[in-house]
């Protein structure tokens, strides 16, 4: 077999090489600490759908994240909103997952015909499960949920506080 | 060539523009919606009325009126207080003092709202439908007296009643809508002989666009209610009733716009 230089032989060698590199890297897996990450999540806030991109830093005990989302108010209403948030969380490392009690603050702007803004503060829990320990594709699955308070400000003297909650599913890419 | 391309592009863009020609006026059912888990405030509460009134595009609210044992008027939907409030029994058998101490079982614990001069002033910010929950013709006369005592502006308030006998009683002093379950209840004789009847109130699912157009053609207004889901609200808007009482105000306003 050695020395054959056919197309199929070269393809097979390439496949095995990639597989072995991946396998080797799985053994020397990355640690989920001291590394920046980017993430995407999709979730529900009350009855509003939201797509969210975020970037942050995962420390040994702390995790900090900046979030930018767009969503649609009240399912299929056509009213969109933009939301910017910051999230800080404590990190509890488990074997193949990590738990992060979190605090999240967000500021949002609701589109026409309403055009008012809102604040929301939330306490919750983020769970990250290592989907792949390959350093080439270090994706993690994220799941977070929380409960908090929202404040809708339509005008200076027109404020409405309400119970808020969210549930999010996402994917995280952690840089080596 | 460039000019024609530009004109073509503008034509396409113009053709795609969304024009809102709907003449339907949007109202909050029981203020911000009945049994709406997404509502910030409980239905028929003062906070809910203020919230609905502040939303751009909302023409007003519909509220439910009941009379207590002492002849005072209260905004409350259900027959019994037990499920939604800290009280037990019905509004009709409670005293004013007992009801004054009542509140809804929500996080905000909104107090039960009495329909008095202050409340009518608040409701006068927009247009209001008062859905009268009357427990008999003898009580209807008392209820009418209580409403007249409030000296409400008939240009800003209209009544919804559940039977023709109540229409006869109230039509001389108020704008009156008759609540019906089926369009078949509307006989031509009734429509022709009731000039005091401003229109009808019916579930959106129980009336078609053609029937609404017919009623409009004989100068009767149509209130449609019980629209909650996006599908139901869209269907309600397409029929173009005169008024749409929605259980999800934000969703409806968003869909209409």
pLDDT tens-digit profile of A74-105? 666 678 899 999 999 999 988 888 999 999 99
Residue written as tokens 């609905």? Answer: B52
Q: Say if strands A92-93 and A97-110 run parallel, antiparallel, or are unpaired.
A: antiparallel
The span from the CA of B167 to the CA of B193, in Å, is 12
Q: Is B38 in the A-facing interface, judged by CB distances under 8 Å? A: yes
Question: Cβ of B230 and A113 within 8 Å?
Answer: no
C-alpha count within 13 angstroms, C-beta hemisphere, residue B61: 29
Mean pLDDT calculated for residue range A39-53: 92
Q: Which of B40, B248, B250 sits opposite A162 (nearest CB)?
A: B40
- At residue B178, the pLDDT reads 93
Q: Is B235 in the A-facing interface, judged by CB distances under 8 Å? A: no
Dihedral angle of Cα A150, B83, B61, B26, to the nearest 10 degrees: 80
Interface test with A, best of B18, B59, B250, B256 (most A CBs within 10 A): B250
pLDDT digits (tens, 9 = 90+) for B9-31: 666 555 554 545 678 999 999 99
The residue of chain A nearest to residue B250, with distances taken between CA atoms, is: A74
The SS3 assignment for A156 reads coil
- What ipTM does the predicted assembly reach? 0.75
Higher pLDDT among residues A22 and A96, named by residue = A96
Residue B188, pLDDT > 90, answer: no
- At residue B182, the pLDDT reads 87
Segment of A95-99, A129-133, B144-148, B188-192 carrying the highest mean pLDDT: B144-148
- At residue A160, the pLDDT reads 92
């Amino acid at each position: 077999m050695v020395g054959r230089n056919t197309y199929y032989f070269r393809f097979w060698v390439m496949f095995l090489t990639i597989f072995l590199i991946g396998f080797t890297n799985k053994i020397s897996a990355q640690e989920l600490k001291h590394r920046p990450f980017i993430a995407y999540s999709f979730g529900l806030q009350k009855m509003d759908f939201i797509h969210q991109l975020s970037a942050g830093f995962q420390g040994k005990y702390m995790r900090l994240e900046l979030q930018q989302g767009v969503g649609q108010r009240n399912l299929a209403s056509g009213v969109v909103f933009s939301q910017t948030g910051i999230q800080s969380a404590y990190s509890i490392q488990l074997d193949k997952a990590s738990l992060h009690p979190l605090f999240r603050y967000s500021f949002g702007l609701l589109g026409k015909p309403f055009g008012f803004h809102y604040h929301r503060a939330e306490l919750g829990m983020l769970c990250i499960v290592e989907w792949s320990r390959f350093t080439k594709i270090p994706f993690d699955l994220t799941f977070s949920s929380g409960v908090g308070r929202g404040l809708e400000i339509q005008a200076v003297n027109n404020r409405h506080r309400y119970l808020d909650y969210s549930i999010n599913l996402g994917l995280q890419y952690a840089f080596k | 060539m460039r000019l024609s391309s530009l004109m073509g592009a503008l034509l396409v863009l113009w053709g795609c523009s969304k024009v809102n020609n709907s003449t339907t006026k949007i109202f909050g059912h029981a203020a911000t919606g009945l049994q709406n888990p997404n509502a910030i405030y409980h239905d028929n509460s003062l906070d809910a009325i203020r919230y609905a009134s502040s939303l751009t595009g909302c023409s007003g609210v519909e509220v439910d009126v009941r009379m207590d044992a002492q002849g005072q008027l209260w905004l409350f939907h259900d027959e019994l207080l037990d499920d939604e409030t800290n009280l037990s029994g019905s509004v009709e058998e409670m005293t004013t003092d007992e009801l004054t101490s009542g509140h809804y079982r929500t996080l905000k614990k909104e107090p039960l709202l009495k329909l008095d001069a202050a409340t009518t002033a608040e409701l006068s910010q927009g247009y209001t439908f008062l859905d009268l929950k009357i427990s008999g013709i003898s009580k209807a006369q008392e209820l009418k007296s209580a409403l007249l005592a409030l000296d409400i502006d008939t240009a800003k308030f209209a009544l919804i009643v559940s039977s023709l006998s109540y229409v006869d009683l109230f039509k001389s002093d108020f704008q009156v809508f008759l609540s019906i379950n089926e369009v078949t209840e509307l006989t031509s004789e009734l429509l022709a002989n009731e000039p005091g009847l401003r229109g009808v109130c019916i579930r959106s699912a129980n009336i078609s666009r053609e029937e609404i157009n017919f009623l409009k053609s004989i100068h009767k207004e149509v209130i449609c209610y019980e629209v909650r889901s996006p599908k139901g609200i869209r269907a309600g808007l397409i029929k173009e009733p005169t008024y749409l009482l929605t259980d999800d105000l934000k969703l409806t306003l968003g869909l209409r716009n």
